[in-house]
Amino acid sequence: MVKRKVKFEILFLVLLLIIISGCSKLGGQGSAKGSETGTDGIIINFLENNPQDSYLVSSEDDEPISVTLEVRNKGSYPRSEEVNELSRGKIYISGFDRDIIRMDDNDLSQILRNDYLSGVSNINPEGGFDTAEFKGFISPDELVVDKYEPTILATLCYPYVTKASPTVCIDPSPFDDKQKKVCKIGSTQLSSQGAPITITRIDQEASSNKIQFKLNIKNDGNGDVIRVNDLKKCNPYGDTSSDSETLKRKDFDRVELIRATVGFSELECGPLDEGRFIRLFNGEGYVLCSLDRASFEEVKSAYTTPLNVELKYGYRSTISKPIKISKISSIS
């Protein structure tokens, strides 16, 4: 009887350990770290049959046309504690003769609805979702040929943020090889951060009076980088409210460095255009940041700490769909 009781208690303990272990694994699958990967931000796609592949119009009646887009936030911005600025973004449609496919000027663009486009998180691993619909009609009176084959363009411009906090080594005696240390100054390769602009690598070098960090960044997405304050210039038809109606070459490949800190110490960084922009060449760029020895002069041995970096930028991506409009003549 006693042996059976002991066996039962052992079996109960084993089952309890299995249950606890399983719960721990389930909890680990939803870690915040996993939500900050990938190289997408906001993406758009045409919904099936919106617009249709082909339209058949008569010479008498206008034909309605609808362009509907699926809008998804596949990146990590905005996080719950961040200010959501996605409503500064817009979707534009273009690429067609506006006399043949008629839409009011107000119907050619739509503002992103930031309430629907939260970033990827533990609670929402798929990210936010919304749709954008553009309605108009095909005017057969303006169609002077039997067939018209335009390509519908959908252009998305939006603000986005990249954040990274890699662990770096702070060593007050970088040239002392005899002392046992927890870390060594060198290079750190980073994974993606849930955004189209990625901080790919941190290179460290030390001198007698400072530590220097080279922050390497890359456009890993499928779109164009623009200055975030030039988002209003994305309108393919021009924006008469701005001094420069459309985007110019100088507006591209500019990423704003919002902050770079080690602990409570702000790093001094450069070279920066206009004091804050990192320039990209062929999709890549870097900035050099330094930490003066005065920030850690009281420290006697090497230690690790997060390097907090935040980048802000505008991003433009475009998708297209060809359609065919055929005109038939009515028989009297």
* pLDDT tens string 138-154: 999 898 889 999 999 99
**CA gap 130, 150 in Å, rounded:** 26
- For the beta carbon of residue 184, count every other beta carbon within 10 angstroms: 12
3-state secondary structure of 232: helix
What pLDDT, on the 0 to 100 scale, is given for residue 300?
A: 85
Q: Does domain 162-228+245-314 have CATH number 3.40.50?
A: no
**238 to each of 60, 109, 233, 242, 320, how far by Cα in Å?**
33, 12, 7, 9, 19
Q: Does domain 34-160+318-328 have CATH number 2.60.40.2550?
A: yes
Question: What are the φ and ψ backbone dihedral angles of 150, each rounded to 5 degrees?
Answer: -85, 165
What are 269's strand-pairing partners?
A: 289
Task: Give percent of the chain with pLDDT exceeding 90.
Answer: 70
Nearest-CA neighbor of 189 among 209, 160, 162, 218?
218
Question: What are the φ and ψ backbone dihedral angles of 184, each rounded to 5 degrees?
Answer: -130, 145
Residue with tokens 């694994």: 25
Q: How many residues does the chain have?
A: 332
Contact 109, 235 (CB under 8 A): yes
- For the beta carbon of residue 85, count every other beta carbon within 10 angstroms: 18
**261 to each of 224, 229, 255, 291, 320, how far by Cα in Å?**
27, 24, 17, 9, 41
- With 80 as the cut, is the pLDDT of residue 3 above it? no
- What average pLDDT does range 50-54 have in this prediction? 96
For CATH 2.60.40.2550, the residue range(s) in the chain are 34-160+318-328
**CA gap 77, 121 in Å, rounded:** 9
Which position has the higher pLDDT, 212 or 81? 212
Contact 172, 299 (CB under 8 A): yes
- What average pLDDT does range 229-253 have in this prediction? 81
Nearest-CA neighbor of 84 among 132, 119, 36, 127?
119
Say if residue 128 is exposed, middle or buried (CB neighbours under 10 Å; 0-12, 13-18, 19+).
buried
**CA gap 185, 203 in Å, rounded:** 9
For the whole model, what pTM was predicted?
0.85
